[in-house]
A and B are shown apart, each in its own frame.
Chain A
């Protein structure tokens, strides 16, 4: 299956990539999608995750063709 992975805002700047295509024969959770797309960098805390623009947690299993998006936490006022 093929997953489109997108990184937004400061995550895009830090990782120096905005989009990755992942091919996998195994079922993946969102957390595993992060790890594979980010060369084993651990998933930071508070990162927001969405599959097809719906909010999910890191344990959600993704499907073929899904778009997985990661957004940095923002708390500044």
Chain B
């Protein structure tokens, strides 16, 4: 009988030993442990990433369970990061989970971003997304951004460790608060968060292993109702207040 538990990450992916070692020694920061964050953490733990730092101040609610695959009814009321840690340690006992069940101050966020090899934005609001992007630009840490609502999803990767890369603020330059469309209020197609989260995790593995062509300077859009994908090419905004001083022509 096929038993997935007996397969090491290296065997499942038939990675060269050095690639498996790279993943096993990697530290990944995941902001938000809702629908996207659960899918991302699940996939990266099984892929053999050594250390996952999970940040979310929220607690598990019954309404989360149809799309947040690491949580279950026994964890309602518990911090999401602890619920996720519990599930992940059952799935991948060797992965090191560092749960942070609170809002990070700007200084704490900068420290976590600096310590990470790659950052995954799985949050649910512009304010967090802008703050995280600014921290990644400042610390020059690659950022993989995912979002989903109703029947639509978006993924983009930002090579913030290189000069001339656009940042999340180049994509969404308007600092105004968004209209209140949240997964709780508007709903999201449950499998869609798995699709977008798995894409983010795939991007993270590529970035960590330095393989393939990440979604750098590209925004991938998925419309579940029509089953159509679109790619929009992004450029660095020379007037971007967040990243304009990081280009090759600017003193850094």
Contacts and interface: CB of A to CB of B under 8 A. Distances in A.
B221 A53 contact: no
Contacts of B18: none
A77 B178 CA distance: 14
Given A45-B176, A46-B178, A75 B124 contact: yes
A48 interface: yes
A69 B230 contact: yes
A53 B125 CA distance: 25
A9 interface: yes
Interface in A13-58: 13, 44-46, 48, 50, 53-55, 57
B174 A45 contact: yes
Given A9-B152, A46-B126, A77-B124, 15 more contacts: A9-B151, A10-B152, A46-B174, A46-B176, A46-B178, A48-B219, A53-B230, A54-B232, A54-B235, A55-B235, A71-B154, A74-B148, A74-B154, A76-B124, A77-B37
Main secondary structure of the interface of A (DSSP, over half): loop
Contacts, number: 91
Contacts of A55: 171, 219, 232-235
Nearest to A50: B232
Interface string A60-77: 000000000101111111
Interface string B224-236: 0100001111110
B153 interface: yes
B152 A77 contact: no
Interface in B147-204: 147-154, 171-174, 176, 178-179, 181-183, 186, 188
A45 B173 CA distance: 10
Given A8-B223, A9-B223, A57-B173, A74 B233 contact: no
Interface of A: 8-10, 12-13, 44-46, 48, 50, 53-55, 57, 69, 71-77
A48 B230 contact: no
B129 interface: yes
Interface stretch (B28-36, B99-107, B205-213): B28-36
A75 B230 CA distance: 18
Contact of B183 (A46, A54, A76): A76
A74 B153 contact: yes
A53 B129 contact: no
Contacts of A74: 147-149, 152-154
18 contacts: A8-B152, A8-B230, A45-B176, A45-B179, A48-B171, A48-B219, A53-B230, A54-B233, A54-B235, A55-B232, A71-B221, A75-B123, A75-B129, A75-B149, A76-B124, A76-B147, A76-B149, A76-B181
A12 B37 CA distance: 28
A10 B148 CA distance: 11
B233 A10 contact: no
A2 B219 CA distance: 26
